[in-house]
Amino acid sequence: MSNQFFKSKRNTYFATVSLTSFLKSDFLKNAGMLFGSSSITQLISLVVVVPALTRLFPDPGVHGDMTLFMSLMAVGAAFFTLKYDQSIMVEDDRNKAKSLVKLSVIINVSFLIISYIILLLLQNPFSTYLGFTKPPSWLYLVPITIFLTAMVDILNVWWNREKKYKKLSGNRIATFVGSSGYKLLHGALKFNGPNGLIVGHSLGQLLSVVLFLPKRIKENASIEVDQIKALWHKYKSFRNWAMPGSLINVIGAQIPVFLILFFFDRESNGHYGNAMKLTYLPLTAVSYAISQVLFERLARIKDNTSEAIKLGYNILYFLFFLALIPVVVMVVWGDVITPFILGEGWEVSGVMTQIMVLFCFAMYISSPFAVAFEVYNRLKLQFVFTSLFALLTGTALLITFHYTNDIYMGLMVFAVVGILVRLGMLTACFRLIGHNPIFKLLAGIFIIAISLVVGFTLRYWIF
């Protein structure tokens, strides 16, 4: 009995030392440059920009169009490069990695041209499906903004490979300032024309691309055709498995937007979009920063199982306890906090915030570890999980909306199914790294449950 006690104490000690070392490591410093800038921009966005925009643009329908636009962006960006941009990090040879950048850009330009041809041919039926009597002016910004978003992704991976974290951080802040500045100016001066929220986002992506471009573009403009052809075939698994998997995953995450528009209206989409701005986007900013640095680090230590496991758990603990309190607060008090931030008339967004925040937490926890599928070349397994995610969540939401016509019930069912699938994916990622995390995940669920009980008890006694 005593031996077991001392063994447990020893394991706890080393886990503490390991986590302490992680908090002081260059990994967290590099990631900190990214999510530090993300935290700054998200804090300013939550405290200043979002409350101002909901007051400058009080019509939920305007925000609904922006939500739809962002969903179209996400879907398009998932396939505009055929995911060859992700192979840039995996390739060991720097010159070949440069060629992969060029290949990704060529594919991106090709899809830009194809998209405008399709849009010009099908703009009327497409607009009708989206609920418009005629094509909205912002619809023509969709292909070019997807192109710019994909360019940001390509250059983002390159600068991440080069460990230019200050450049990545500075770019993010400058883009946020430019995009948010235009949105606020458009609303304050009441400009006519396209949706100011959408124009501001497009300008932000353009600014990001300009700031990301290398200083000596001409020196990097030459194309080695034979090498690009060889790389096209070498990394075919990215177009064959990673791209479809990513596309299905994005569609699964964006299904609520399209189904809310189909079953309800643009205004409901506006409420949903702003609820996600207060939950999903802040969490994603940190998660995305961690995933970029984890991709680079895990690719280097993948053959050292013990180091990979230690890194994985340190990141899991860090992410979990970093967001635990804010997530619990939003579950308990979201219906009060959200209208306070957004202003009068956004009470529906408050209820949606309460419903969706745990789903967003599951996405935030699991998303960084998805890079394990690419690092360990298990793209088919990734495809299976993303397909399950889209199929199960989409089916659950569709059936619930159809039979109940209750938007809250539908989102509840969507969130529960989504959480279960994402926990399964997280388990698979850790098994690839070299360990089964099931007991740690159950411990995390228990901590969240106890925290929620305490939170709702406090709210009951306060009110």
Which tokens sit at 432?
């690839």
CA trace torsion 432, 435, 441, 442 (10° rounding): 130
Residue 50 contacts residue 277 (beta carbons within 8 Å):
yes
Query: What are the residues whose beta carbons fall under 8 Å from the beta carbon of 180, sequence distance 6 or more?
Result: 44, 45, 49, 200, 204
Helix, strand, coil content of the chain in percent (nearest 5): 85, 0, 15
CA 243 to chain centre: 16
Q: What are phi and psi of 76, to 5 degrees?
A: -65, -45
Residue 5: pLDDT over 70: no
Long-range contacts of range 233-236, CB-CB < 8 Å, 24 or more positions apart? 235/84, 235/87, 235/90, 235/91, 235/100
Give 382-422 pLDDT, tens digit per residue: 888 889 999 999 999 999 999 999 999 999 999 999 999 99
Residue 254: pLDDT over 50: yes
242 vs 5, higher pLDDT = 242
Residue 179: pLDDT over 80: yes
Give 352-378 pLDDT, tens digit per residue: 999 999 999 999 999 888 888 888 888
**Structural domain boundaries in the chain:** 18-462
Give residue for tokens 């308990």: 332
pTM of the model: 0.82
CA trace torsion 55, 61, 67, 68 (10° rounding): -160
Give 298-343 pLDDT, tens digit per residue: 878 878 888 888 888 888 998 999 899 999 999 999 999 999 999 8
The confidence band for 30, taking pLDDT boundaries of 50, 70 and 90, is: low
Residue 93, helix vs strand vs coil: coil
47 vs 200, higher pLDDT = 200
* pLDDT value for 13: 38
Q: Work out the mean pLDDT of the chain and round it to a whole number.
A: 86
* pLDDT value for 20: 56
